[in-house]
Structure 1
Amino acid sequence: MHNTPLTSKDAAPATLQLSVDAGVAWVELHRPEVLNSFDDTMLRELADLWARLRVDDEVRVVVVTGAGEKAFCTGYDRSGLDTEDTEDAEDTEDTGDADESTAVLKASSPFLRADVGDFLGPKSCGLWKPVVAAVNGIACGGAFYLLGESDIIIAADHATFFDPHTTFGMPAVFEPLHLLRRMPLGEVLRLALLGSAERMSARRAHEIGLVSEVVPGDRLRAAAGAVAATIAALPPLAVQATLRAIWIGSEMAPGQALGVAHALVAAGTDPAALAAGQQAFRTGNRPRWRLR
């Protein structure tokens, strides 16, 4: 099957900015006038973009960030909701909204509703290529769908994190469930239960392991780009198998995960890439490293 590259004649998305350089796709959430909150259009466009990136062999790594310096993403854009339909509006923030959202939200059963994570999350959309999140400001609410499915998170020193659901009378459910993979239980509880009354700093997010690096705002793009470029230069099959292994290990019991390890090694080994790596090892042609 022919893989369609991002340079095809597909219409440019209205809510995203996209560029590709040396195997790295830069995805910018581009609604700065509403702090990069997402609406139905962005949900559809992100789901479509993740699907396109999945089959574009020129793209090996993705960096996702937000437009401007104020916000990475502030969740669902409630300003566009129908104020006369309060009950459905509240459901939108918690259970999600997406393509054909009105029909989904008014379904007779909550089990028939879609969740925004089905459209926002790269892994939920089948994109198993490394995703680096560059958090350039506020990240709250629905932003944790993206951060929860990112692989490496780098934050500007002015970035902040919080979940406003409980402040507005809504249960925080999907977002803290995503965060439990990345944060200690007590920190997830504090973030979710205090709502808008408290924000976590980039420094604290680094201390607890939510983010792996904090840099000055003017160095955020360079720091994310350096990580992405390093990964993009590696054999993609080995990278993708490694990614799968780690995520499988985070979701399965240890014995179950080890049971599929041999299959992942076999599927992720490219003989040509392995031979090149062995040759580099023998000749001493190894990459320079930096201390973090």
Structure 2
Amino acid sequence: MAGYETLRYEERGGVAWITLDRPQVLHAFDTVMMHEVHRCWSELRANDDVNAVVLTAAGDRAFCTGVDRNAAAIGDADRPRDIGQQGATPLHFDDPGDWLPPKTAGRLWKPVIAAVNGMACAGAFYLLAEADIIIAAEHATFFDPHTTYGMASVFESMMLLQRVPIGEVLRVSLLGAHERMTARRAYEIGLVQEVVRLDDLADAAARVAEAIAAQPARAVQATVRAIWYAQELGYRQALDVGKTLVHLGSDDRDLAEGQALFASGGRIPWRAR
């Protein structure tokens, strides 16, 4: 998990910490970053030392501001390499969604906790829409400027709709750069699950990620997959798939340890939210 140019990576206590690291462009992604994020998701699938992931960005100005249209590594701003139409017909189209989302692109079912440390806009939703839990600093903002600059907001809006009500998606998408959603409003509509002071952001993300990572990996991953299946499938279809996931997510040793803990009267220290 080494050799990244645009990411910082470390592991602590069963948690992988991924930090977007292009502060000079507010963590906008170029081709290198897209490929590195995709590689990171893929490698985490096979890394049994990691049971949860925290995704954040360096500094306090921005989490991610979408595609870097000026990056040399991207190429022509009208048809950047790895983004847009490939070839003479429009039937071969590549999008950042082929590289960035942890589930669609990375097929990663380990929980991803996003710690949003500032501005998050446009292509940031490729990452945020498929995070499992989002924690935001008080000053974080969310918006999608596509329409303001003559571009349709398509994939970002579709993905965001999996997390928040349609009216909120329409407002974010159609008002473009004219309005930004605050962290508090994002919390009110369910996009964000916790809002904290910037100084407390890393600790809040660590608390959630470490608690998840301490639990049996199979049960956690099957739970994540079940919940996303329920988003993607019809209700009855999801329930049918759930019968399989119950078996896939249950390990006899984990069940025995859990039963022993319960029988001994052991209680997990908890906090109210």
Classify the TM-score, shorter chain: over 0.9
Does residue 45 in structure 1 map to residue 36 in structure 2? yes
Displacement of 1:85 in angstroms is 5.0
The answer to whether residue 94 in structure 2 is matched with residue 114 in structure 1 is yes
Correspondence for 2:16 among 11, 25, 47: 25
Match for residue 218 of structure 2? 237
Give the equivalent residue in structure 2 for 1:105: 85
Q: Which amino acid aligns with 1:274?
A: L
Q: Residue 79 of structure 1 corresponds to which residue in structure 2?
A: 70
Identity of aligned residues (%): 54
- Describe the shift of the 1:67–1:147 C-alpha distance in structure 2 as closer, same or farther (beyond 3 A): same
CA drift of 1:249 comes to 0.4
* Residues in 2 aligned to 1:276 and 1:50: alpha-carbon distance in whole angstroms: 30
Once the two structures are TM-superposed, the CA of residue 209 in structure 1 deviates from its matched residue by 0.3
Q: Could you state the TM-score of these two structures normalised by the residue count of structure 2?
A: 0.96
Q: Which of 172, 175, 180 lines up with 1:191 in the alignment?
A: 172
Q: Does 1:66 align with 2:57?
A: yes
Q: Hey, what does 1:54 align to over in structure 2?
A: 45
Q: Which amino acid aligns with 1:60?
A: N
CA deviations 1:75-102 (Å, max 9, x no partner) are 00112269995642xxx5xxxx53xx5x
User: Following the alignment from structure 2 to structure 1, what is the Cα–Cα distance between the partners of residues 33 and 51?
Assistant: 23
Q: Deviations over 1:91-145 (max 9, x none)?
A: x5xxxx53xx5xx634223231111111111112111110000000000000000
Please give the root-mean-square deviation of Cα atoms over the aligned residues, in Å.
Answer: 1.6
Q: How does 1:67-216 map to 2 (within 5 A)?
A: 67-80=58-71, 85=76, 87-88=78-79, 98=82, 105-124=85-104, 125-216=106-197
Q: Which amino acid aligns with 1:267?
A: L
Q: CA deviation at 1:284?
A: 1.2
Figure out how many residues of one structure are paired with residues of the other and give that number: 272
Using a 3 Å threshold, how does the CA distance of structure 1 residues 269 and 106 change in structure 2: closer, same or farther? closer
What is the deviation of 1:20? 0.2
Per-residue deviation at 1:148?
A: 0.7
For structure 2, the residue ranges without an aligned partner over 5 or more in a row are none
d(CA) in 2 for partners of 1:84, 1:136: 29
For residues 271 and 9 of structure 2, the distance between their equivalents in structure 1, rounded to whole angstroms, comes to 29
Question: Structure 1, residues 180-204: CA drift from partner, whole Å, max 9, x if none?
Answer: 0111110000000000000000000
8 Å Cα contact 2:32/2:73 also seen in 1: no
Quick one: structure 1 residues 240 and 139, their matched pair in 2 at CA, closer, same or farther if it must change by over 3 Å? same
In the alignment, the residues of structure 2 paired with residue 288 and residue 178 of structure 1 have an alpha-carbon distance, to the nearest angstrom, of 35
Q: Secondary structure at the match of 2:260?
A: helix
Residue 159 of structure 2 aligns to a residue in which SS? helix
Asked if 1:280 is matched to 2:271, the reply is no
C-alpha separation between the residues in 1 aligned to 2:103 and 2:63? 19
Q: Secondary structure at the match of 2:103?
A: coil
Distance 2:154 2:107 in 1: 22
Would you say 1:221 and 2:212 are equivalent positions? no
User: In structure 2, the residue corresponding to 1:78 is in which secondary structure?
Assistant: coil
Change (3 A) 1:189 1:67: same
Structure 1 residues 109 and 225 mapped into 2: Cα distance closer, same or farther (>3 Å)? same
TM-score w.r.t. the length of structure 1 is 0.90
Per residue, is there more helix in 1 or in 2? 1
Where structure 1 has 5 or more consecutive residues not aligned to the other structure, the ranges are 1-5
Quote how far apart the aligned CAs of 1:261 are.
1.2
